[in-house]
A and B are shown apart, each in its own frame.
Chain A
Amino acid sequence: GAGVSQSPSNKVTEKGKDVELRCDPISGHTALYWYRQSLGQGLEFLIYFQGNSAPDKSGLPSDRFSAERTGGSVSTLTIQRTQQEDSAVYLCASSLASGPTGELFFGEGSRLTVL
C-alpha cells in the first residue's frame, strides 16, 4: 500500500494475555518508530529502528514490552501479560531519512483495550 499499515485496528484482550501489534511501513523507508497515545497524554515514544542498527529501546515502559523488525521492513510490537494501564492507541511511523529531519509518516494506529 501507499501508506503505513497497522493491524489490528482494534484489539480487546483480557488482563494477563499477550498481544502482538503489526506495522507495515512505507516501502523503502529505513526508519520505523512506535509511539503510544493515551488519552490526554500525547504521544509517548517507545522504540526506534534504523536500518540494520540496534534499535533504540529507551522508551519502552517495562520489560513486558518488546519489538522486532524482520528483514528491515515489517515490525511487531509485543506486550506480554497485558495490564489495564496498557490500554492506548499504538501508533507506528516510518521515515525515509535517518536523523531528525526526515518526515514521519504515521499509520492509523492500533487501539488496544485491556479488560
Chain B
Amino acid sequence: AQSVTQPDIHITVSEGASLELRCNYSYGATPYLFWYVQSPGQGLQLLLKYFSGDTLVQGIKGFEAEFKRSQSSFNLRKPSVHWSDAAEYFCAVGAGGSQGNLIFGKGTKLSVKP
C-alpha cells in the first residue's frame, strides 16, 4: 500500500536560511507526488507536483522539490526562507488507479526565527 513519511515533525530555521523538508514515499510504480502548505486556520494550498519528466520541479513561492527514485524521496527546498513561510507542510502521493485521492504524510511544522 502507498504511504508517505515525513520524518521531521517540527523544524525551526532562521529567516534567510535555506530549507529542506524531507519526504519519503512507498509506491510500486511511478508515483504522482505533491507538496501542500497549510497556514494556520487555512485550507491546504498546492505548492508543486511531480508526475513525470524533469525530476526537479519548481513551485510557487520560490519552492522546489526533487524526485529521487533511488531514494524514494521527494524533498522540498527553498534557498532563503521568509517569515511568511511559517506553516505546516504536507507531502502526498497519489493513491493510484483511477482515483484522485491522495495519501498524505503527517506533516512538518515550520517555524521561522527572525
Contacts and interface: CB of A to CB of B under 8 A. Distances in A.
Count class of interface residues, chain B: 20 to 34
A103 B49 contact: yes
Count class of interface residues, chain A: 20 to 34
A interface majority secondary structure? loop
B interface majority secondary structure? loop
Contact of A4 (B43, B46, B105): B43
A12 B46 CA distance: 30
Contacts, number: 70
Interface in B11-70: 32, 36, 41-46, 49, 51
A104 B99 contact: no
A104 B97 CA distance: 16
B45 to A, nearest CB: 8
A108 interface: yes
Given A45-B103, A99-B98, 12 more contacts: A33-B100, A40-B9, A42-B106, A43-B90, A43-B92, A45-B101, A48-B100, A91-B43, A98-B98, A100-B102, A101-B32, A109-B43
Interface of A: 3-4, 31, 33, 35, 40-43, 45, 48, 50, 56, 59, 91, 93, 95, 97-104, 106-109
